Structure 1
Amino acid sequence: MALKKFAAFGCAALLVAWSSPSFAEPEPASCRNLRFADNGWTDITSVTALASVVFEALGYKPSTTMASVPISFAGLKNKQLDVSLGYWWPLQQLQVQPLLDSKSINMIEPPNLSGAKATLAVPGYAWAAGLKSFDDIARYRKELDGKIYGIESGSSANAKIQKMIDQNLHGLGGFKLVESSEAGMLVTLERAIRNQKWLVFWGWEPHPMNIQFSINYLSGGDATFGPNYGEARVYTLTATDFLERCPNAGKLVTQLRFSTQLENQLMQAVMNKTRPAEAARAYLKQNPQVLDPWLADVKTFDGKDGLAAAKAQLGL
């Protein structure tokens, strides 16, 4: 949305800066210490590590702050953070839209990931036995122990689940929302599948859970989570002054594009205990072509050709 507004208002100066010879000049020293937000979800951790590795190869010194979704958005608003790669739309729209409307943060168009989804899911054996839609959940209250497993406290996903319970949507009145971290929820899922226990949980894709476990997403949740099983896009957010203050770093940030296949591979490595930065470097060695569009017309921090420098630094 922010970039559309720049274009609409003819903010040509920024666009010219991205293509002008002045790009050979180093950015302000403050831009070298690039500050990423990470809400702790494995997909965001993985792509943030990937972006950080690329920035390091360009001579920047990126850092990552682990923070909950609300705190990370507040950090961008207060300019304590520069970039978040993790705005899941429409899941987090209620939290983010007021910040966009007040021009407290910027959103980069187009999204860095399309074709994602996020909604309630169940193990395959529960789905095969009849738990296939939101309207089926209440029928199996006993098998589910009256619980729905969400993610971390304060998340939009949990808020939507709790709203369904409070309003008795789909007959869910009286169910209990169990809040947990992503890792905690996945441990619960793995244990349930091992014991063939029924479970309704918050699931999403991209995520290795989709290839590690036999799971199915529930239909009928369009009113709460959106059509096509909560089809989602993931956007990059920045502090309002970031793109203008750090045009070279900003150009790379706006050109980052990921795919579900890329993220599934990265996330699986991370969840298998590979350090995120190591997983990112390994992915780039196997897929160096992803750097070409990301680093088009991007320079190193000190003004040299970015693509050549990054490939040399990464041994590609």
Structure 2
Amino acid sequence: MNSKFAPILLSTVLCVSANNLMAQESSSCKTMRIADIGWVDNAANNSILELLAEGLGYQPKKTMVSLPITLASIQKKQMDVYLDYWSPSTDETVKPYRDKKTVKISAEPNMRGAKYTLAVPTYLYEKGLKDFADIPRFKEELAGKIHGIEAGSGGNKMLNQIIADNKFGLGDFKLIESSEAAMRTAVARAIKREEAIVFLAWSPHPMNLQFDMTYLSGGDDYFGPNYGAAEVYTITATDYDQRCPNAAKLVANLTYTTDMEAALMARIMEREKPTTVAADWIRSNPQWLDTWLAGVSTIDGKDGLVAVKNHLGL
């Protein structure tokens, strides 16, 4: 070999080898273990991740579990990703894991502009149930019930604390803990009959379009100011970015808007397949792929943007 070309050839070989090394993802990362806690907004978030992951050659695997089990599973590295940590409403549930640094929480939220607190049908608001402190005056009409979602959720924990503290005079009320779907069914039934009901509500969610509803004031000490204004964060296993740096980069890139999420959720609630809904939305808004796939390759090191576009037929 001519000695004057040796440094150039060696440099090229090292560069190619380094790029290949950086591009390769361990085969153990192929299955992306995603938590699904049964919320429609979580299904919307997950549908985007699933679709992109499939296009990159991963095999996303969703498991439906409660929030406490989700956190414990991520701590034990039995799951990888949770995209729906609402703060401050679920801060109390997450706090032990955050304090001990046994899960990794994204530095920036994946969605801003959300809110989460109690709401009532607008006809009940117009009768005078406008604030948390007004609820006891309607106790008989409400049958002494407040409708929450699944046991262990942050919203339910705060409502249980309000009841335990007898805050706003709600000590004699009973929290109805059920699924989000069951809660929405109860609200729809009550509105159809023009009956009184008070329930956990949040935005983004199609319920804001489905129901003529109004959020209650007064819950700032528990749900936060501005009607429980919230930010949503991503939680991963502490070593996920080391074990699976490419997959972790994809997860870190994912951000959403409230309008995007509401559009996805509306169709998912009509029992359409979430990944089909996500695919339709992305085909109408392909510019988001540049953000989500920046610095992301396929699992075998090829161009991630090209692969996902091919996967979507773009």
The answer to whether structure 1 residue 286 and structure 2 residue 291 are counterparts is no
Return the match for 1:100 from 95, 98, 101: 98
SS in 2 for 1:223: helix
Aligned to 2:243: 245
Alpha-carbon contact 2:23-2:297 (below 8 Å) kept? no
Cα offset, 1:25, TM superposition: 2.9
Aligned to 1:77: 75
Hey, what's the Cα distance between the residues in 2 that align with 1:61 and 1:178? 37
Hey, what's the Cα distance between the residues in 2 that align with 1:263 and 1:25? 31
Aligned to 2:293: 295
The one-letter amino acid paired with 1:142 is: E
Hey, what's the Cα distance between the residues in 2 that align with 1:279 and 1:106? 29
Post-superposition CA distance 1:43-65 (Å, at most 9, x none):
00111011111110011111101
Aligned to 2:163: 165
Aligned pairs (5 A) from 1:213-224: 213-224=211-222
Return the match for 1:46 from 44, 47, 67: 44
Hey, what's the Cα distance between the residues in 1 that align with 2:286 and 2:230? 27
The one-letter amino acid paired with 2:241 is: L
Hey, what's the Cα distance between the residues in 2 that align with 1:26 and 1:201? 48
Alpha-carbon contact 1:24-1:302 (below 8 Å) kept? no
Cα offset, 1:22, TM superposition: 4.8
Alpha-carbon contact 1:92-1:156 (below 8 Å) kept? yes
Aligned to 1:212: 210
Hey, what's the Cα distance between the residues in 2 that align with 1:311 and 1:156? 37
SS in 2 for 1:118: strand
Hey, what's the Cα distance between the residues in 1 that align with 2:107 and 2:286? 24
SS in 1 for 2:49: helix
Return the match for 1:193 from 182, 191, 194: 191
SS in 1 for 2:142: coil
The answer to whether structure 1 residue 232 and structure 2 residue 234 are counterparts is no
Aligned to 2:303: 305
Hey, what's the Cα distance between the residues in 1 that align with 2:211 and 2:98? 37
Cα offset, 1:309, TM superposition: 1.3
Post-superposition CA distance 1:98-156 (Å, at most 9, x none):
21221110001211111111000000111111111001111111121111000001212
Alpha-carbon contact 1:24-1:304 (below 8 Å) kept? no
The answer to whether structure 1 residue 60 and structure 2 residue 58 are counterparts is yes
The answer to whether structure 1 residue 262 and structure 2 residue 260 are counterparts is yes
The one-letter amino acid paired with 2:148 is: G
Hey, what's the Cα distance between the residues in 2 that align with 1:133 and 1:22? 60
SS in 1 for 2:69: helix
Cα offset, 1:23, TM superposition: 6.2
Task: Supply the RMSD in Å over aligned alpha carbons.
Answer: 1.1
Hey, what's the Cα distance between the residues in 2 that align with 1:24 and 1:304? 11
Aligned to 1:131: 129
SS in 1 for 2:190: helix
Hey, what's the Cα distance between the residues in 1 that align with 2:287 and 2:200? 34
Post-superposition CA distance 1:52-96 (Å, at most 9, x none):
111100111111010001001111000000000011111111111
Cα offset, 1:233, TM superposition: 0.7
Aligned to 2:84: 86
Change (3 A) 1:96 1:76: same
Residue identity over aligned pairs, in percent, reads 49
Aligned pairs (5 A) from 1:9-20: none
Alpha-carbon contact 2:111-2:232 (below 8 Å) kept? yes
Count of residue correspondences: 297
Cα offset, 1:167, TM superposition: 1.3
The one-letter amino acid paired with 2:91 is: Q
Cα offset, 1:166, TM superposition: 1.6
Aligned to 1:7: none
Cα offset, 1:207, TM superposition: 0.4
SS in 1 for 2:235: strand
Post-superposition CA distance 1:156-204 (Å, at most 9, x none):
2111111111211001110111111000000000000000001000001
Alpha-carbon contact 1:83-1:237 (below 8 Å) kept? yes
With normalisation by structure 1, the TM-score equals: 0.92
Hey, what's the Cα distance between the residues in 2 that align with 1:39 and 1:313? 27
